[in-house]
Amino acid sequence: MMNRPQKYIEGEALHFQREKSNNALKLRVAVLVVCVLLVSALVVIYLLFELLTTREMLRNLELKQGTVQTNVAERVPEITPCSTVQPTCPEPEVKIITEPCNTIPTTTLQPTEINMLTQSYSTIPPTTPQPLDITTDDPCYKCEDGWKQHGGKCYFFSTSKSSWNESSTECITKGGDLVKIDSSEEQSFLRIAIQQKIKSYDDLFWIGLTDSAVEGRWLWVDGSPLNESLTFWFFHDEPDDWTGEDPDGKDCARMGPMYWFGISCKVTHRSICEKPAVALCD
């Protein structure tokens, strides 16, 4: 047998090593593929398990829902609705009188009794309340046309507007002056009269009160000081001397449908004049 050459033997050994390496690589790839397939199979199995579990849970929920609906449907007739009818008081028992009418004595009114009943009936006030009369028609006093009588005095409510000084002058030419309020009763009379005459919220009336001579010392047009216990100012801090509209301040008083307000004397307003009524009785 002939010996093979050395080079041939070495080449064959190298080829065998390469073949061995390729086989090992193929084996590794095959193992890796098998591992990937196993992992994929596990993932698929897990997903199938989760799907089956979810479907089972949904089926249980559907069964529970059907049971609850059945229970509710069975119990609905047992629920009685709340009564919305308000309780009412029992009607008073009405007793019918069955006694014969002839038991009621009949009498014939005499002429004198008829006159007395007629006079009594004439003094009964009407059931419908009458509007409050703001005038006092005292027959012992008389006022000119256009003036209102009250408490022995006459009052004139102007329709034109002017400043406080101009209004005072107009009242003097009419024989009086701007009104001086001496009592709560007189304030009430004027308040009601103003409520019947105003046409808008700013429809106010001058009264005869001012502190234009000495700031803070309020005097009536006849020179008498204001009685601090008999005032009807709107604000607790009225009257103030705010100079925002007039540098001279708020030195004159005006009256609304309820209260008094301090304001600049230069503002134009309607006015209330006052003078004594003409006495007709001794």
Of 147, 254, 146, the residue nearest 208 (C-alpha):
254
- Give the DSSP letter string of 192-259: HHHHHH--STT--EEEEEE-SSSTT--EETTSPBP-TTS--BSSTT-S----SS-TT---EEEE-SS-
Q: Which two tokens stand for residue 48?
A: 């199938």
d(CA 127, CA 149): 27
φ and ψ of 30, to 5 deg: -65, -45
**pTM for this structure?**
0.52
Q: Is domain 141-279 in CATH 2.60.120.10, yes or no?
A: no
pLDDT in tens, the chain (282 residues): 445 566 667 677 777 777 878 888 888 899 999 999 999 888 888 888 888 887 778 777 777 776 666 665 555 455 455 555 555 555 555 454 444 444 444 444 444 444 443 443 343 344 333 334 444 567 888 999 999 999 899 999 999 999 999 999 999 999 999 999 999 999 999 999 999 999 888 889 999 999 999 988 999 999 999 999 999 998 776 777 677 677 788 899 999 999 999 999 999 999 999 999 998 887
φ and ψ of 64, to 5 deg: -65, -40
Residue with tokens 């006092």: 136
Q: What kind and span of H or E run contains 261? A: strand 260-263
Q: What kind and span of H or E run contains 177? A: strand 177-178
Dihedral of alpha carbons 77, 78, 82, 84, sign: positive
